[in-house]
Amino acid sequence: MLISVLTGFAAGAVHVVSGADHMVAMAPSAIRKPKVALMDGLAWGVGHSAGVLILSILGILAKDLINIELMSSYAEFLVGISLLIVGLLAIRTSLRVNIHMHQHMHGEETPHKHFHFHSIGNKLHRSHTHAATGLGVLHGFAGASHLVAIIPALALPLVGALAYLFAYLLGSVFAMGCVVLGISFAANKANKMFYPFLMRSIGGLSIATGIFWLQKTSIITF
């Protein structure tokens, strides 16, 4: 049982961090404040797990009624479109950042200055979280690698299979949460003046990846 859990957890974590589309899609969220980044990362992980679970159930119970590979190919194509949207939104956010300087003094210390930045739309975090969940579901549907990863569960007894599948989903959530949190801490330690440039660069990378994804999947899908 323990081996099933550890193997499933590791498989889920490796699958998440090895997906270039996963990392690029969540990069704009990852450079936000750690708490916000973590919430978005966990929301993506939950959505991704839900997508994988639904795809797995369909693949097992309705494999003769539904063309899983075709459905997954269309989902891959939609991932490319979502990467374009994420990139454009990241660039728009970078253009709406207001960076300014505040002077602080703690007790009798010498006054020192801090850079602060605010972005229009920070109050819409709930909608960002919902978007991350939806993006995770889409990634969960995309690609047949999920089905390959859960094949070991088919060879296990019922309890072991359920433990493996649950650990796989938990590993996905945990891995994305750790990745975005680590990037967020690193980004927040950097000079705030570079934030707009960093966001634009990530947006450009997301758009480039989206174009590549569309070219790759359009050949398969259409």
pLDDT in tens, 143-191: 666 666 666 666 778 788 788 888 988 998 999 999 998 888 887 776 6
Instruction: Answer with the residue of higher pLDDT: 10 or 130.
Output: 10
Q: Is 46 exposed, middle or buried (0-12, 13-18, 19+ CB in 10 A)?
A: buried
pTM: 0.73
Name the least confident of 35-49, 84-98, 116-130.
116-130
Token code pair at residue 152: 């070991």
Per-residue pLDDT at 120 exceeds 60: no
Overall domain count for the chain: 1
Instruction: Answer with the residue of higher pLDDT: 153 or 19.
Output: 19
DSSP state at residue 62: S
Whether 104 is in a domain gets the answer: no
Amino acid 208 reads A
Per-residue pLDDT at 125 exceeds 50: no
Whether 181 is in a domain gets the answer: yes
Q: What pLDDT score was predicted for residue 170?
A: 92
Whether 152 is in a domain gets the answer: yes
Contacts of 209 (CB under 8 A, 6+ apart): 20, 21, 24, 83, 87
The phi and psi torsions of 132 (rounded to 5 degrees) equal -65, -40
Q: What pLDDT score was predicted for residue 27?
A: 84
Whether 127 is in a domain gets the answer: yes
105 backbone φψ class: left, alpha, beta (φ>0; ψ -120 to 50): beta
Max Cα distance, the chain (Å): 75
Residues across the chain: 222
Whether 196 is in a domain gets the answer: yes
CA distance linking residue 202 with residue 115, whole number of Å:
21
Whether 79 is in a domain gets the answer: yes
Amino acid 63 reads K
Per-residue pLDDT at 106 exceeds 60: no
Whether 13 is in a domain gets the answer: yes
Give me the domain span that covers residue 201.
2-99+114-221
DSSP state at residue 110: P
Whether 190 is in a domain gets the answer: yes
